Structure 1
């Protein structure tokens, strides 16, 4: 017995097999369509459950994939999203991102958050990791670089010509203060007027074997408080770290002594990077022995 199928004559069992295959394909498509058609709030819940399971099992790559998909969803993220993101970033040694996410969790969840205590411990662990990294002994190669090229080569020579400075050190200090003058932190970042001082700004000077950084904080009434920190340059790593946190619209330059926050800047990555690099060059300059 044979049946007609699209103009051809096939054995009945083959015809039935093709029909079953078509049914399976259609069913698969329907299932996939239902999964893809989940409303954003349900998909968010699903991915959060998957993230929690991956983090519990310490499958960090899988957890990172779920978090990336969550980030793309147009839906409000549960507060635990920040906690899990902090853990995943910490596993990748992305300390800046990890701390920003964990601080966001603590701020949003408060002391009643189910992960509140552990989030605080993780933030403390990040500070310790930064401190250990900052205090790590320099290799011989790094020490030679600080002596052979303490001023940063042609870049610093250009700065000397630009600022009409008498020395590399003077040029670096002038350039740092110029950068800090336009990178001050403001409460309102929507309208930035350079003719008005920032809410938080800094002035830097150097002398002997130390760098002096003055922080100026202005209040709503027009008053200002000033605080000065001295940073001895010997025994610290001239590779100055920096990072930006979108959640608080802030970039930071970290203290090369212990990795703590040192300078609070506007959320401009380019400015923060150049300030950190120039500060590192100044540290190298001060660390280098006087030329004979």
Structure 2
């Protein structure tokens, strides 16, 4: 098994700059898939991102048809960079383009209220109270119970590749996560199966202060893949199997865990 802890050869601040240059070049050449890969690697870096990062993420997400993510990233860029931002005017024009694309798809704000992207409510996960979860998992604290419940849901709905509609639940997952809580942060470990059969393990950290614990999720496209979105910038965060109910329960559980980490007692 191959383990990596965001193991770049360059220090993170220089790797951030290198990847930003790669993103800019890929966008200039309209190589959207390549630009998306560089952006995902940037997202995994635990460094302060330049304002342009949000602009380029919005641009690439727009080209990929992920309009919710595009809108969130572009709005973040305009807010952060302001009128002096290099891409300020283009970002405003792209926001208008995203609005038009949403309208064409019937994804206007009024429709989103009733049938659009679901938002997790902070309530007992799976209908279970935290006290019930503590008994179920023999956990000594609510935080420990929520961690164990989240990891159980992540295991149940791990993502598996497949060409058909039926996915073999007994096969080894292609992507699986494990979460743990730390002081002021949620730790996420991602295990991804590589093409050569080995596994790559990457750990990342989600600081909880200043983020919304109401996590957004959806199961787009053919419904075989569900996503929970990053509360920091609205980008795709956790890639899961197609179980909508399990994804909803996980979003609630993680939201409750984040809320408790934000207000430790």
- The TM tier, using the shorter chain, reads 0.5 to 0.7
Would the aligned equivalents of 1:253 and 1:263 in 2 still touch at CA under 8 Å? yes
Cα 1:120–1:181 shift into 2, 3 Å: closer
Given the alignment, which residue of 258, 261, 265 partners 1:286?
A: 261
TM-score, with length taken from structure 2: 0.53
Partner of 2:145: 171
Q: Which runs of 5+ in 1 are unaligned?
A: 1-101, 108-118, 134-148
Given the alignment, which residue of 118, 127, 131 partners 1:157?
A: 131
Measured in 2, the distance between the counterparts of 1:132 and 1:158 equals 44
Deviations 1:106-150 (A, max 9, x none): 67xxxxxxxxxxx699963353358999xxxxxxxxxxxxxxx99
Deviation at 1:245, TM superposition (A): 0.9
SS state at 2:239 partner: strand
Deviation at 1:195, TM superposition (A): 3.8
Would the aligned equivalents of 1:131 and 1:258 in 2 still touch at CA under 8 Å? no
Deviations 1:265-289 (A, max 9, x none): 1112111111111000000111113
Rg larger for: 1
Measured in 2, the distance between the counterparts of 1:262 and 1:181 equals 16
Would the aligned equivalents of 2:69 and 2:236 in 1 still touch at CA under 8 Å? no
Q: Does 2:69 align with 1:128?
A: no
SS state at 2:234 partner: coil
SS state at 1:245 partner: coil
The alignment covers a number of residue pairs equal to 162
Would the aligned equivalents of 2:219 and 2:242 in 1 still touch at CA under 8 Å? yes
Q: Does 2:175 align with 1:187?
A: no
Measured in 2, the distance between the counterparts of 1:207 and 1:277 equals 19
Deviation at 1:225, TM superposition (A): 1.1
Q: Larger helix proportion, structure 1 or 2?
A: 1
Deviation at 1:264, TM superposition (A): 0.3
Partner of 1:249: 224
TM-score, with length taken from structure 1: 0.48
Bigger relative contact order, structure 1 or 2, given CA contacts below 8 A and separation 6+? 2
Would the aligned equivalents of 2:68 and 2:234 in 1 still touch at CA under 8 Å? no
Measured in 2, the distance between the counterparts of 1:250 and 1:286 equals 28
Cα 1:178–1:224 shift into 2, 3 Å: same
Measured in 2, the distance between the counterparts of 1:122 and 1:155 equals 32
